């Protein structure tokens, strides 16, 4: 599923598992407001950019439960994401 592949790539970027600097594009939320696992994004200026990897995936990332986004390893993230998809009451 493309959705899961995009989220997995974003996880890899955030955890420096691929050679892409997350600091150049991504900024995390404020830990004082319990939003440290949420990502902030700039307002897209065009429809084309709005449908590109970062805006689309950040929106999907921010809809994930903290249990998924706070995973510390890639396999844990993939497992949590798969369990979320298999859950009958999934929220994302």
84 pLDDT band (50/70/90 cuts)? very high
pLDDT 10s digits, 10-68:
999 999 999 998 887 777 765 554 555 688 876 767 878 778 898 899 999 999 999 99
Q: Is 30 within the bounds of a domain?
A: yes
Query: What residues have CB less than 8 Å from 90, skipping those under 6 apart?
Result: 84
Judge contact between 13 and 26, C-beta under 8 A: yes
Task: Give the model's pLDDT for residue 39.
Answer: 87
Single pTM value for the model: 0.80
Q: Is 42 within the bounds of a domain?
A: yes
Q: Is 91 within the bounds of a domain?
A: no
Looking at the structure of the chain, the number of domains it has is 1
Give exposure, 40-76, as e/b (b: 16+ Cβ within 10 Å): ebeeeeeeeeeeeebebbbeebbebeeebbebeeeee
For the record, the structure tokens of 61 come out as 């990332």
């Amino acid at each position: 599923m493309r959705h899961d592949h995009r989220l997995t790539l974003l996880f890899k970027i955030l955890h420096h598992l691929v050679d892409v600097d997350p600091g150049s594009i991504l900024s995390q939320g404020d830990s004082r407001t319990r939003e440290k696992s949420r990502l902030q994004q700039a307002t897209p200026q065009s429809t084309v950019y709005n449908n590109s990897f970062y805006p689309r995936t950040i929106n999907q990332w921010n809809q994930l439960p903290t249990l998924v986004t706070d995973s510390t390893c890639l396999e844990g993230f993939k497992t949590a994401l798969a369990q979320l998809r298999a859950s009958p009451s999934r929220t994302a």
